[in-house]
Structure 1
Amino acid sequence: MKKLKLLAILLVIAMTLTSAVLGLNLLSFMTSDTEIIVSQRIVDINSPVVIKVPRINKYDRVYLILNATTIPYSITVNPKGVLIPLPLDVEGVEYDYAYPILMTRHFFFIANASGSAQIILNMQPKTPYAIKDVEGKTHVKVFEYVEGAKEYIGIDTEAVKFAENGYTQTVLVTPLNEVIQPDFQVSGEVKLLQGKVSYINLIIMTDTDWYAFNIVPSTVQPNITISFNVNAGSRELLGRTGEFLNKRGLFIALGIGLYSGQFNVSEAARAVVAVGDLTITNGGRSRVIRARVFNVYEMTYHLYIFRKFQPTFQHFLLVSALALEVLAFNYVTIKFWKRVKRGDGYIAQAF
């Protein structure tokens, strides 16, 4: 009787292990087929950047991350229609303020047909700032602007879609990554070249909150240069003073706001702004963010290809084997249990 019980236990363990092996093999087929490509390119804004996508199947998903400060002028796919852009937007969501996603560009596609494809990017100049929308949607062009001996970063922003409150806000963001000390200050100058702005704010983004200080009002006229200095004694838009002290500053940003009520129906909702050097002082040290644009630069990208699970003949064999294994397991277990309860001593009689 003891031998019969021991044999039954060993048989149950063996069948459990083989079922687990079959199940894990089947699961690995469905979860492991993801391809990741990391590459660097030299970008020249006068030539398109071509990213080759390996052979894909219909309904595969493609996720492209660009380590680029500006949005490309245009993105096209060759052959046309092989990859369809997904209407997913991670630009400008609130949690951007505390995560590195703010400094990169993200694009999603789904394969509409099987085959190989190319993603063709017409890039803009690189700046020391990552430029993104946090309210509404705008079309931004970056250019170099020189006045006398001074260099500026030119930002041409035009509203494509206003937010529900009637505003758009485009931010120019640069990393800080320092604990803010009592001597903290940010100084610089900006200039409205054309159009109208609702505001230009200096924004301090910390790990717990963000603080906006108005440096250019809506009444500003074109071709007027405005110098600013924001420090611990400056009063921000919510009336707070110095609350960012001793917090970890993540980013410094300039926010350019457009308001739909400022523009006539026939008028383009647009502003062209020049941004000069920005000086950041903190903890007895100063550093300057130079107002420079780069037409040739190095860019890293990550290309993720998530393969849609498509069953093959081998999958069907695994499923069939797993099903038979489960049936056999249940049959043998029930038979042994009945024989053990009745006290029969011959294993052969179990069948």
Structure 2
Amino acid sequence: MHSAPLPTKGRGARSNATGRYEPTTTEAFDDGWTAEDEAPTQIRTILTPEHARTIIAGNTSPDIGFDRSIDPYKGCEHGCIYCYARPSHAFMGLSPGLDFESRIFFKPGAGRLLEQELAARRYVCKRIHIGGNTDPYQPVERDLQSTRQILQVCRRFNQPLSIITKSNLITRDVDILGPMGRDRLASAFVSITTLDRRLARAMEPRASTPAKRLEAINRLADAGVPVGVGFAPVIPGLNDHELEAVLEAASKAGATTAMYVTLRLPLEIKDLFREWLADARPERAARVMSLVRQTRGGKDYDPDWNTRMKGTGPVADLIAARFKAAIKRYGLDAPRHPLDETKFRVPADARAQLELFG
């Protein structure tokens, strides 16, 4: 089955290939339009409620630093072309391409769902990570406020949390995160992949600008939230030369810790990324993919648990060495701020309501 290419203004992916579980596939063909022609209307974001019974997800991956998380949304409008969450849309019969960034699922009553789980007698308090898969502060959050509902409940229960985002919208919630941070109940990471506005616009089309992300670090730090910077992903030949500059800028803004992840290209992402690279940075495409393969044992991706986050080989080793030196130089090697799990309390009204309707 063939279809005309979809408009991509304001989106990251250049195509919308069918999910891998579907019986038929679609393939775009060139109808002659180019970037010099008048841009078509932007793709409309479609919001779909997801009626779930739970909101906390468990994690058993040995290389992830948390065992439970909350993702307020499935899909992400930010459109980051490298996003490792893209393949999850195939499970819903949707494309990891443009569908992922325009077909967004949300849980109505997210705060109520979380309150029910935290109030359950079997619940044992441990840190909850918010945004481990898709961004909790993507543009739809301005209206839906699912993430804010979740934070409000965490504050009521003194439930410790960590949160990661590419959006300056997180500063809206410093009234919650600030007091929680000062009480050792919250920490945050802001992901900055580049200081180049043009590259950020091409690679992460609907995320906040690099300057706005640095501003978010500053606002969070000033409010008392322990905040780190994530230089993720490191893309050899594309943004790796900015590693030191990004870490220095984040340190000056108030970050006290840092992390990095080398580009991962599992499943459909490898084709989406190569397609984007050939369109957005054609002069670098061959070099970038060659360097990527050098970090993955000659393949586009190696899913080995022990190496998938950082890669292997001389290129990966050099990135690791530069990162280690830079975090020491810029004071980003402070220990992670431990969160206090002993303050967790179920409010009396929450327990009573659960027993009444349980």
Assess same fold via TM > 0.5: no
Which protein has the bigger strand share? 1
Q: Scaled by the length of structure 2, what TM-score is found? A: 0.24
The TM-score with structure 1 as length reference comes to: 0.24
